[in-house]
């Protein structure tokens, strides 16, 4: 087991030595350099990333301080949302799963911030904790939304589906980590996590919340709205749309995710405290 861990660390480290591949046609996305660079910020980049910003703090080389700060803000707000639910009324399974999401996502985001900041020392190995816990965070959202169902065969099937998907996702993730070409593509292990996040959040907190806002309780609209706010983050991140070196794709994504999380909390808080949802307020 020790040799396997060493192998993964070695392969991740090797991957850091390779320059990130950039799309040769990235600049062709602009009609002219003036148009693309004149929008919003004079240094906007689409299809490629800026060079990482580095600053020195107490002798430490800190990478991407901008991403660390946006991760920190997102973590603190998520933890606050979890604490607010913890102090609120109601003790339903619906609330417990969402509360778990806020706490775990906050811890995961904080670790992710340090993973970016200390990238020069740990590389992508420093992001492993965030990747692993990110999978569980989405599972908690799914389970929270499933709890909105009254006890029925479909609720049991959805729970089973969500659990099987969780196990398969971990198998794929660790399979890529141990056997994938991560020396050439160090970000490859994140791909199944990103796909699972888009599917899990869009369906369970998006489509399903919208249906429930029409059939069960209007306050599910806040959860649905949170998803709508978050969705553009996928286009910024996957499309490598970077507005400025100090406001890159990560920062924009974090801002949108943070706003969406606040709407999640508002919806869950209203639903947990509302007497109309008797099926959600039973333990």
What was the pLDDT predicted at 77? 98
* Residue 137 to residue 197: CA distance in whole angstroms: 9
pTM of structure: 0.80
CB 111 within 8 A of CB 130: yes
What was the pLDDT predicted at 8? 52
What was the pLDDT predicted at 265? 96
What was the pLDDT predicted at 274? 63
pLDDT beneath 70, residues of the chain: 1-42, 150, 274-283
* Residue 116 to residue 226: CA distance in whole angstroms: 26
Which domains does the chain show, CATH number per domain?
Answer: 2-273 (1.20.1070)
* Residue 180 to residue 35: CA distance in whole angstroms: 39
CB 118 within 8 A of CB 110: no
Going along the chain, which residue ranges are E strands? 45-46, 54-57, 60-63, 241-242
* Residue 123 to residue 73: CA distance in whole angstroms: 22
């Amino acid at each position: 087991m020790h040799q396997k861990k060493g192998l993964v660390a070695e392969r991740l480290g090797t991957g850091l030595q390779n320059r990130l591949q950039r799309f040769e046609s990235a600049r062709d996305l602009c009609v002219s350099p003036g148009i693309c660079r004149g929008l919003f910020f004079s240094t906007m980049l689409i299809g490629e990333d800026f060079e990482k910003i580095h600053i020195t703090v107490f002798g430490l080389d800190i990478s991407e301080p901008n991403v660390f700060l946006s991760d920190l803000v997102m973590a603190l707000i998520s933890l606050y949302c979890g604490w607010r639910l913890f102090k609120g009324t109601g003790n339903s399974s619906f609330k417990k799963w969402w509360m778990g999401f806020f706490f775990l996502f906050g811890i995961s985001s904080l670790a992710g911030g340090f993973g970016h900041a200390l990238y020069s020392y740990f590389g992508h190995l420093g992001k492993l904790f965030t990747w692993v816990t990110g999978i569980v965070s989405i599972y908690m959202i799914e389970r929270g939304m499933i709890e909105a169902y009254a006890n029925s065969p479909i609720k049991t099937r959805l729970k089973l589906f969500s659990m099987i998907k969780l196990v398969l996702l971990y198998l794929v993730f660790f399979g890529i980590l141990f056997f994938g070409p991560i020396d050439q593509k160090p970000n490859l292990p994140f791909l199944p996590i990103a796909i699972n996040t888009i599917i899990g959040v869009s369906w369970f907190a998006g489509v399903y919340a919208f249906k429930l806002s029409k059939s069960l309780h209007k306050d599910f609209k806040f959860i649905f709205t949170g998803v709508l706010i978050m969705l553009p983050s996928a286009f910024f991140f996957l499309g490598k749309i970077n507005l400025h070196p100090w406001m890159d794709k990560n920062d924009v994504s974090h801002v949108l995710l943070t706003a969406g999380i606040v709407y999640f909390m508002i919806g869950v808080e209203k639903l947990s405290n509302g007497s109309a949802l008797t099926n959600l307020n039973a333990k």
